[in-house]
Amino acid sequence: MAGSSLSSAIAQRYAESSGEAYGITTESFQQMVASIVAGGAVELSEAEQVALVGNLRVADLTLARACSAGNDFAWKAFLTRFRTPLYGAAYRITKDEATGRELADELYAELYGFNDRHGKRRSKLEYYTGRGSLEGWLRTVLSRQFVNRYRSRSREVSLDEQLDAGVGFAAAPAADESGPDHRLGVAIAATLAELGAEERFLLSSWYLDQRTLAEIGLQLSLHESTISRRLDQLRKKLRKRVRERLRAAGLGLRECDELLAELDVRDLNVNVAATLKQETRVETFHK
């Protein structure tokens, strides 16, 4: 059961969210936000949970979730705000108007959703968590979709055929070498590489091996609450250093925050496992 401070924070954010206009009740909003708070890999204190709730983009969140539920009023608001920016982003990514429109239309279909065989509505907007702006999240999803299209086409069509087609697929990886996603991958790889042995062990055990806090604590002779705190401190340290590297690479504050808000390193060209597995011995961690 959420503490009184957290409950108050969620109630206050509901008042700021426009959720009522989209048919989202106080109860459903509370459940939505509580699920987001509980969905992190590291357990947060109540104060940290309150801070997380205070930073959520609740207006974007309620709009996205209302759209995923099929609310017509929400969809009109969504299209008014994002149709033009999303098509513009698609054109910039593909370097071709026809391909860009096709890419954006494909994404709209996935955002609008469909009913599965059990009659439950499914929409990609369900995965938006409000940690960054909805527009930034949409651009990230669009970029990933384009990369997936390129990879799929690369498996089916020869390089010569791609070049002859002239639709931008063959040029996509080279164009991305200076883009934000590429710089994010470089920043993450460099930050992970400079970690100490114990830090790599903690991250690989928790994120890659999916060990429990108790199992990690047993190997390090530490209580699981200590492991939880160290993981949280390490997460904040990594985020700070990656952000500093992105700033040094020329990205603006808003662009950095949007890239980091919905970050999933599995979508980047970063060999996380190889970096973190450089050290698996634990006997030298403590003197």
**Can you give the pTM of this predicted structure?**
0.59
- Residue 192: pLDDT over 90: no
Backbone φ, ψ for residue 3 (5° rounding) = -70, 165
- Residue 144: pLDDT over 70: yes
Banded model confidence at residue 17, pLDDT cuts 50, 70, 90? very high
For residue 210, the model assigns a pLDDT of: 72
For residue 21, the model assigns a pLDDT of: 93
For residue 60, the model assigns a pLDDT of: 94
- Residue 174: pLDDT over 80: no
Percent of the chain with pLDDT over 70: 72
- Residue 177: pLDDT over 90: no
For residue 169, the model assigns a pLDDT of: 36
CB 167, CB 99: distance < 8 Å: yes
- Residue 165: pLDDT over 90: no
Element (H, E) at 115: strand 114-115
Q: Where are the domains of the chain?
A: 4-56, 84-171, 180-276
**What burial class does residue 134 get, using C-beta atoms within 10 Å of its C-beta: 0-12 exposed, 13-18 middle, 19+ buried?**
buried
pLDDT digits (tens, 9 = 90+) for 203-240: 888 777 778 888 888 888 889 888 888 888 888 888 88
Banded model confidence at residue 145, pLDDT cuts 50, 70, 90? confident
Q: In the predicted model, what is the mean pLDDT of residues 15-20?
A: 91
Give 16's Cβ-side CA count (13 Å radius).
13
For residue 151, the model assigns a pLDDT of: 59
- Residue 65: pLDDT over 90: yes
Least confident of 14-18, 105-109, 180-184: 180-184
Q: In the predicted model, what is the mean pLDDT of residues 228-255?
A: 83
- Residue 97: pLDDT over 90: no
Considering 31-45, 59-73, 266-280, the range whose residues carry the highest mean pLDDT is 59-73
For residue 150, the model assigns a pLDDT of: 62
84-171 placed in CATH 1.20.1250: no
Q: Which residues contact 52 (CB under 8 A, 6 or more apart)?
A: 36, 37, 44
Average pLDDT along the chain: 77
For residue 185, the model assigns a pLDDT of: 72
- Residue 155: pLDDT over 80: no
CB 142, CB 89: distance < 8 Å: yes
Q: In the predicted model, what is the mean pLDDT of residues 110-126?
A: 78
